[in-house]
Amino acid sequence: MPEGHTVHRVAVLFRDVFVGHPVEASSPQGRFRDGAELISGQVMSDAWAVGKQLFVSWSGGMVLRVHLGIYGAWSVAGDTSESSIGAPRTRREEGFRRAAEDSFPPEPIGQVRLRLLSDAVVADLRGPTACELLTPDEASDLMATLGPDPLVGKPAKNKARFVEKFQASSTPIGVALMNQKMVSGIGNVYRAELLFRHRLDPWQPAKSLTQEQLEDLWDDWTVLLKQGVKTGVMVTRGDLTPAGRRKALRSSSWRHYVYKRTGSPCLACGTPIAMAEMATRKLYYCPQCQDATPPTGG
DNA sequence: TCACAATGAACAA
DNA sequence: TGTTCCTTGTGAC
């Protein structure tokens, strides 16, 4: 689902199946008709992700930017093992892939903003919060506003930039982690899980963390992101046996320490997991392990 | 049939 | 701080 790992996965897929090939673009839904016409028939030059943003460059020089938001997703069919990347669309994905086996390309299902179609693969985009064409300069400007992404650029430089930004911010760490200008790709699941994994109080100012704590946090984010890109699933528990990990890949109830576990016993100490609003999103945490209490007593 | 939530963020005031 | 947008699935009626 759409945190940073998702978008990197889409970029990998596109590089694998589309880059170097002419691609037909269309907007079955109609809301991106003009943009689709501008790039249709061009060769996809490159595809890459920075945090939650996907960039796709074309032989004509334009750059497509896609942001999935909370419920955007790509449905994929044809000559690829991928089926769906993004928010859950399970039922529809199955129908889509079956339809593609009968006749290629299959009819679009639902509100398809953008369809990308090559000889062998079709990718349908539904529900994005952003889908637009940019000039290369506009794309560069946008990328420059984003915080470091562990999979973009040089590791040492990224880490230093992360530490520097957080040491300069008095924002609560639980808010800062969700700010894409501070660090790229972390969403509501990774936020809660990273904070728990490091036993951090979400309301503690970012700058109050030690250099070592910040470096550990960055290293851990790097590990989680790489795992997420590899498997397509956010498994954030580090206490699972190999069998437990396999279960977690299939069932969401095994994946997380605290996310969506309100009232259930903490897997480390047994204290009921708590939930509070933070940065307009639901934050899940262990009051005991993270020594955390919402400031206004909510 | 309807309200609502969901892994997000821009924008107005 | 509150509102709006994007799409789909679920669960309450």
Question: Does the residue A261 lie in any domain?
Answer: yes
Instruction: Indicate whether A43 and A173 sit together in one domain.
Output: no
**CB–CB of A220/A210 below 8 Å?**
no
Instruction: Indicate whether A201 and A279 sit together in one domain.
Output: yes
Residue A169 Cβ under 7 A from any strand C atom: no
**Number of domains comprising chain A:** 2
Instruction: Indicate whether A199 and A227 sit together in one domain.
Output: yes
Closest nt to A69 (CA→C1')? B8
Query: What whole-number distance in Å separates Cα of residue A237 and Cα of residue A297?
Result: 28
Residue with CA nearest C1' of nucleotide B9: A69
Residue with CA nearest C1' of nucleotide C8: A89
- What is the predicted pLDDT for the residue at A153? 96
Using the structure, give the distance in angstroms from the CA atom of A44 to the C1' atom of B2, rounded to a whole number: 43
Residue A142 Cβ under 7 A from any strand B atom: no
Residue A119 buriedness (CB in 10 A; 0-12 / 13-18 / 19+): exposed
Instruction: Indicate whether A199 and A256 sit together in one domain.
Output: yes
Of A120, A144, A168, the residue that ends a domain is A144
Question: Does the residue A298 lie in any domain?
Answer: no
**CB–CB of A10/A74 below 8 Å?**
yes
**CB–CB of A46/A58 below 8 Å?**
no
Instruction: Indicate whether A162 and A78 sit together in one domain.
Output: no
- In eight-state DSSP terms, residue A181 is T
Question: Does the residue A49 lie in any domain?
Answer: yes
Instruction: Indicate whether A89 and A200 sit together in one domain.
Output: no
Q: Which helix (H) or strand (E) holds A67?
A: strand A63-67
CATH number (domain holding residue A111)? 3.20.190.10
How far CA A85 is from CA of A108, A224, A229, in Å, comes to 16, 17, 11
Strand C-proximal residues of A, range 112-131, CB below 7 A, are 113, 126-127, 129
Instruction: Indicate whether A69 and A200 sit together in one domain.
Output: no
Segments forming the whole domain that contains residue A22: 4-144
Question: Does the residue A274 lie in any domain?
Answer: yes
> Which residues of A are annotated as catalytic?
2-3, 52, 281
Residue A253 Cβ under 7 A from any strand B atom: no
Give the position of tokens 């390309």.
Answer: A105
Instruction: Indicate whether A217 and A90 sit together in one domain.
Output: no
In the sheet with A63-67, reading across from the earlier edge strand, the strands are A44-50, A53-58, A63-67, A130-134
Closest nt to A129 (CA→C1')? C6
Residue A184 Cβ under 7 A from any strand B atom: no
Instruction: Indicate whether A130 and A165 sit together in one domain.
Output: no
User: Which bases of chain B are under 7 A from a protein CB atom?
Assistant: 6-10
Residue A65 Cβ under 7 A from any strand B atom: no
Of A144, A176, A197, the residue that ends a domain is A144
Using the structure, give the distance in angstroms from the CA atom of A115 to the C1' atom of B1, rounded to a whole number: 31
Residue A109 Cβ under 7 A from any strand C atom: yes
Instruction: Indicate whether A33 and A115 sit together in one domain.
Output: yes
Strand B-proximal residues of A, range 27-46, CB below 7 A, are none
Instruction: Indicate whether A167 and A213 sit together in one domain.
Output: yes
Q: Which of A180, A208, A207 is nearest to A279 (CA)?
A: A180
Of A124, A144, A164, the residue that ends a domain is A144
Query: What whole-number distance in Å separates Cα of residue A128 and Cα of residue A130?
Result: 5
Distant-in-sequence, close-in-space partners of A100: CB < 8 Å, separation ≥ 6: A77, A78, A106, A122
Residue A3 Cβ under 7 A from any strand B atom: yes
Tens place of pLDDT for every residue, chain A, 298 residues?
589 999 999 999 999 999 999 999 999 999 999 999 999 999 999 999 999 999 999 999 999 999 999 989 999 999 988 777 887 666 677 788 888 888 999 999 889 999 999 999 999 999 999 999 999 999 999 999 999 999 999 999 999 999 999 999 999 999 999 999 999 999 999 999 999 999 999 999 999 999 999 999 999 999 999 999 999 999 999 999 999 999 998 888 899 999 999 999 999 999 999 999 998 899 999 999 999 988 874 4
Instruction: Indicate whether A82 and A41 sit together in one domain.
Output: yes
- In eight-state DSSP terms, residue A266 is P
Question: Does the residue A275 lie in any domain?
Answer: yes
